[in-house]
Amino acid sequence: MYFACVFVCVDLTDDMRKQFPLMAAIASRTRVFPNQRITRLLEFNRNICSNPNNMNSLHEWDLTLDNKLVEIEGHILPQEKIFFNNDSVYAGEQANWTSSMNNKVLILAKRLQYWAIICVKESRQIWERFQQILIFEANKIGFRISYPSIRYFVDKNDRVLFNKMMEDIASKEPLQLVVCVDSRIHFKRYCALKTKFCVDRPIPSQMIVLNGKKENLLTSLAKKLAIQINCKLGGVPWYVDIPIEGLMVIGFDVCHDRRKVECDFGATVGSLDNKLTKYISAVSKHNKGEELSNDIANHICKFISRYRDNNDNKYPDYIIIYRDGVGEGQIESVYNHEVKKIKKKLDEMYKDVEIKMAFIIVNKRVNTRIFYNQRNPPCGTVVDSVITSPTANDFFIVSQHVLQGTVTPTSYTVIYNSLELHESMIQQITYKLTHMYYNWSGTIRIPAPCQYAHKLAHLVGVYIGEEPHNDIEDLLYYL
């Protein structure tokens, strides 16, 4: 007699994700350290091999199962030097320079003179303390902040009143920034804030949640927020050395929000300077569930024109496009639908000059795990043989250090390449870009332009629902 097995797929709700004890309990089961994972894999292997029925099934297909993990050769890229205005530091073995940033002056610090605060009354006292800390910490890194104008409101979930208050503030004087201070995470209020100041009144905006629970975290929060706000105004905190001149990097991603039934949104982000610190962005609608972009080629042409305006009338010599959100079965469609269109448009722009371009698929959701002496491999580990495809130009990079569990490498597949650069140079540039995401003073899993595109697509797809105003397209307002 056979009993049917019923599997019910359960996703975590937003409320569940906010429950720290629950998420910690889940993490304790899912984040397995490398030595534990190796032990479990080998035990699973022994269980299979000790069962004659399993072995007979393998023999029928002329398959054998090794009794040990695959041994591979990789190489480790050198630590990156992080450049500030007055100093430089190495990223370190954990690729995190947070503790080294004290009193480091930012590469480009803006001056914040005209800004407004909309603060819920119950957060008034903690905001007044936090404001002093923010101004003090910002001053240490060269970011000068004047005192803002402030309006307080009672938390009554009155969206009409909140919208009127935002409109009154924005219409009375030219502002560089609008900040909403709330005592809790408020989805509808966040949507209203971002819609107002990304679409109706194009002004960079910031939501800050302050309550008694964060009393001991005000200084660390102020340090991070100062860098984030400076970037939203057009400032630059740091950069890494880029070994080639005339490079433009581009990121693209699509946000599929299951709560929205009308459409999805894709975001394209491209660099405008040789140090890869300044970006321009564009957003376009997609049919619901559609991954392929009809507008990426037009967006890239627009970015190149803006790049030329910023670089003495010169087009970029090299273009690297990082494309996220593509499954293995979609690669051919992406090549035919996106790469060919981009190449055609660029050939029209560059005319007789052959464009040097690479199109790289970025995949974070991989099952591959890489171990180094029963530990996680060091940051900057690159593997480009044995476990890669024999027919494709692909490689893995471990760019992040994790404190818990086994690190997951990121897979990169180059589906078009006319750069005339050595493969190792593409790997090196890709790793460097994981240091350039300005919302975190450490490396991330994917190149910065890819993460910027993801953040923008998520902001528009989940919270705004329409294309942002062009007046802020050259600011990192979506950080």
Active site residues: 253, 291, 324, 454
How far out from the chain centre does Cα 279 lie?
14
DSSP characters for 254-315?
EE--TT--SEEEEEEEEE-STTS--EEEEEEEEETT--S-SSHHHHHHHHHHHHHHHTTT--
Pairing type for strands 247-255 and 318-324 reads parallel
From the list 245, 236, 239, the residue with the least C-alpha distance to 425 is 245
> Coil, strand or helix: which one is 234?
coil
Enumerate the β-bridge partners of residue 283: 267
User: From CA 155, how far away is CA 157, in angstroms rounded?
Assistant: 6
Q: Cα(299)–Cα(456) distance, rounded to whole angstroms?
A: 14
- Retrieve residue 427's tokens: 């790997």
Q: Check: CB of residue 479 under 8 Å from CB of residue 439.
A: yes
Residue showing tokens 């190796």: 38
DSSP 15-77: HHHT-HHHHHHHHHHH---HHHHHHHHHHHHHHHHT-HHHHHHHHHTT----SSPPP---EEP
Interatomic CA distance for residues 85 and 440, integer angstroms: 18
Contacts 24+ apart (CB under 8 A), 65-70: 68/42, 69/38, 69/41, 69/42, 69/371, 70/386, 70/387
| CB 477 within 8 Å of CB 231 | no
Q: Are 240 and 435 in contact (CB under 8 A)?
A: yes
Residue 178: name the closest of 472, 473, 463 by CA: 472
